């Protein structure tokens, strides 16, 4: 079998950064490179596989136990986040990690430090894969892709491994909230599924944020500054004023657990006009709706002060908390817990402070909790993944299949 590390390094070498500004699906043509590669690899292993016009790879492996059991799907996304470059990734492999700081050699003086990321110390003695400081790594979610493919390879090379029907899914554009918008659940034909898209080893999640985006266009008025009194409307300052109307502690850097937030992700502008983008998050649906209303009222207050049409807000829901869809099928959580314990992993059930394809799939009728992929510090240059966590995740996939086959 190909080593999971070699497989992971092959996948991160392919630039698959998604593009929020694009209206196509996949949003970036380069995502097709990895999608086509995965289709070819599955077919080479003898797996019946399709790749449709929307960029969904779907594989089917028939059961081999002679009795009816639910078809179980495993899903991961191929795109990487727009937050940092995903091109020309140069991974560093740190064997037998000693607990110290790690030089990210692509940027002189930049280090991955346990003093800033104490969770690094959980992995002393293991093999860590880091970035070189110039790009993200892509463990979100190419670690999940590699883990699923590694499990598939084991299954096809070990016909004695007993399992029910298996479904494999790889999706584009998860990082921009469009991962499964056109995913055909009926064609996928799974009874239950798991996304391999969580964080560090042991994470198991069936609750996620309710999510919305807010884009506010601010129309100012530029006048020569020497003659601007009573006339100029500085769109940059008005955008700052709108942000000041939101609670200052309701930001990602001040929140944890079930606490929601407003997150300013982009501010572009001049005196004449500006565009401001936020994401709005909360696990509680009522609080989520209240946050959206607060944003709308802030825009309305700007218009009342500066004139109608000064702030035009577009607020769109992105996904909802999957708990209400998954909890009635709690046995799939129980099986994931048992599968982790069988692999020697301590399960940590917790809410996702983010989203997952599994949320939208659950609302499409496919209950789909989220299992760890093993990586940490996603979406940035401090991203890393322990090799042993990827190995454990692949083992958990096999154990889930065993449990459903029993």
Q: Give Cα 216 to chain centroid, integer Å.
A: 25
- Three-class DSSP category at 246: coil
Q: How far apart are CA 42 and CA 7, in angstroms?
A: 13
Angstrom CA distances, 293 to 243, 265, 313, stand at 14, 19, 11
Q: How far apart are CA 136 and CA 114, in angstroms?
A: 18
The catalytic residue among 15, 147, 173, 174 is 174
Residue 174 annotated among the catalytic residues of the structure: yes
How many C-beta neighbours within 10 Å does residue 182 have? 14
**Which class for 162: exposed (0-12), middle (13-18), buried (19 or more C-beta within 10 A)?**
middle
Angstrom CA distances, 103 to 90, 106, 129, 259, 375, stand at 13, 9, 12, 34, 18
Q: Which residues on neighbouring strands pair with residue 17, listed in sequence order?
A: 80
Sign of CA dihedral 22, 27, 30, 32: negative
Residue found under tokens 């955008």: 239
- Is the separation of the CB atoms in 5 and 147 below 8 Å? no
The catalytic residue among 15, 31, 41, 79 is 79
**Enzyme catalytic residues:** 79, 174
């Amino acid at each position: 079998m190909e080593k999971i590390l070699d497989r992971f390094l092959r996948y991160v070498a392919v630039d698959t950064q998604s593009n929020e500004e694009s209206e196509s699906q996949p949003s970036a043509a380069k995502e097709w490179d990895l999608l086509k590669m995965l289709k070819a690899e599955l077919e080479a292993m003898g797996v019946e596989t399709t790749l449709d016009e929307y960029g969904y790879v779907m594989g089917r492996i028939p059961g081999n136990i002679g009795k009816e059991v639910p078809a179980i799907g495993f899903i991961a996304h191929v795109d990487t986040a727009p937050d940092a470059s995903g091109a020309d990734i140069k991974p560093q492999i740190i064997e037998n990690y000693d607990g110290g700081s790690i030089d990210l050699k692509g940027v002189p003086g930049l280090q991955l430090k346990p003093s800033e990321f104490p969770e690094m110390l959980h992995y002393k003695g293991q093999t860590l894969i880091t970035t070189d400081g110039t790009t993200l790594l892509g463990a979100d979610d190419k670690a999940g892709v590699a883990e699923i493919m590694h499990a598939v390879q084991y299954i096809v090379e070990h016909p004695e491994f007993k399992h029910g029907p298996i479904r494999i899914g790889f999706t584009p554009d998860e990082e921009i909230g469009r991962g499964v918008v056109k995913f055909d659940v009926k064609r996928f034909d799974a009874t239950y599924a798991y996304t391999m898209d969580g964080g560090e080893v042991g994470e198991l999640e069936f609750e996620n944020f309710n999510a919305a985006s807010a884009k506010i266009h601010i129309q100012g008025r530029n006048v020569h500054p020497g003659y601007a009194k009573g006339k100029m409307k500085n769109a940059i300052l008005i955008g700052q004023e709108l942000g000041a109307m939101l609670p200052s502690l309701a930001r990602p850097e001040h929140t944890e657990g079930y606490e929601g937030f407003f997150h300013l992700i982009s501010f572009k502008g001049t005196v004449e006009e500006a565009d401001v983008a936020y994401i709005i998050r909360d696990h509680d649906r009522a609080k989520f709706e209240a946050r959206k209303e607060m944003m709308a009222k802030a825009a309305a207050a700007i218009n009342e002060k500066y004139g109608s049409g000064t702030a035009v807000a577009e607020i769109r829901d992105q996904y909802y908390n999957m708990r209400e869809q998954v909890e009635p099928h709690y046995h799939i959580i129980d099986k994931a817990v048992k599968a982790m314990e069988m692999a020697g992993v301590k399960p940590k059930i917790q809410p996702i402070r983010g989203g997952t394809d599994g949320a939208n799939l659950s609302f499409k009728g496919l209950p789909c909790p989220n299992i760890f992929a093993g990586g940490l510090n996603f979406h940035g240059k401090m991203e890393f993944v322990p090799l042993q966590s990827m190995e454990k995740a692949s083992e958990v996939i096999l154990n889930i299949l065993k449990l459903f086959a029993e």
